[in-house]
Amino acid sequence: MNTIVYILLAAGLVFFGGTTLAAFYWAAKTGQFRNLEDGSKSIFDDDEPVGTATDAFADKQADRPLRRGAIAFKS
């Protein structure tokens, strides 16, 4: 019983260590580490573009403009 458990644990170690290395290799290979500027903008789209705030208290207006790049609330 003990031996089986230890073999399983060792296999887990190799598997999860291996997948982490494989993920790193895959990321480098598929260009995930290139064009980082574009990557940071991948959470925005034309409907919610850079410069659009998406959260605010209902009863409190944002009294000062957002700086640097932020233009308007989504209306």
73 binds another protein (CB under 8 A): yes
29 binds another protein (CB under 8 A): no
- φ/ψ of 6, rounded to 5, equals -65, -35
CB of 25 to another protein, least distance (A): 12
Read out DSSP for 9-40?
A: HHHHHHHHHHHHHHHHHHHHHTTTTS-HHHHH
Rg (CA), the chain: 23
The footprint of another protein on residues 46-65 (CB under 8 A) is 46-65
Residues that bind another protein (CB under 8 A): 1-2, 5, 8-9, 12, 16, 19-20, 23-24, 27, 32-33, 35-75
